[in-house]
Amino acid sequence: MAKKSGSAGRFGARYGRVARRRVSEVEALMRADYSCPKCGAAKSIRRVGTGIWECRRKICDYRFAGGTYRPITPGGLVASRSIARSNTEPSQEDLLLTAVPSNSNESSDSLSEVEE
């Protein structure tokens, strides 16, 4: 029984197994079903061009920039999390933790030795 070649089957026996597998994986990611970040509709995001994604619902019609083959990249997730974290107000506990040195006992001992 022959293995199904997927989207890279159009290359036939050319370019090698690894290159055809990578092309197949990338194209599967590109054509996968994604939900809209604005309206939340499932299976509504489509790739318009390189890095341009659009919601197909007429009500939403949301267009945004994303990754070349994915609407949201891992690097973009890290950046959005750090931006969200910096926009929130720090709690009193966070402020106290940043104000206290990690080795408070050792630093006070070293200061007393210098003063003597």
Instruction: Using a cut of 0.95, tell me whether the model's pTM lies above it.
Output: no
Q: Which residue has the tokens 């089957």?
A: 9
Q: Could you tell me which CATH class the domain 33-99 is placed in?
A: mainly beta
Q: pLDDT under 50 in the chain at which residues?
A: none
Q: Pick from 31, 37, 34: which is nearest to 45 by CA?
A: 34
What gap in Å lies between CA 59 and CA 28, rounded to an integer? 27
List the chain domain ranges. Answer: 1-31, 33-99
Residues 54/45, Cβ–Cβ less than 8 Å: yes
Residue 7 pLDDT: 86
Write out pLDDT tens, residues 74-96.
998 898 888 888 887 766 776 66
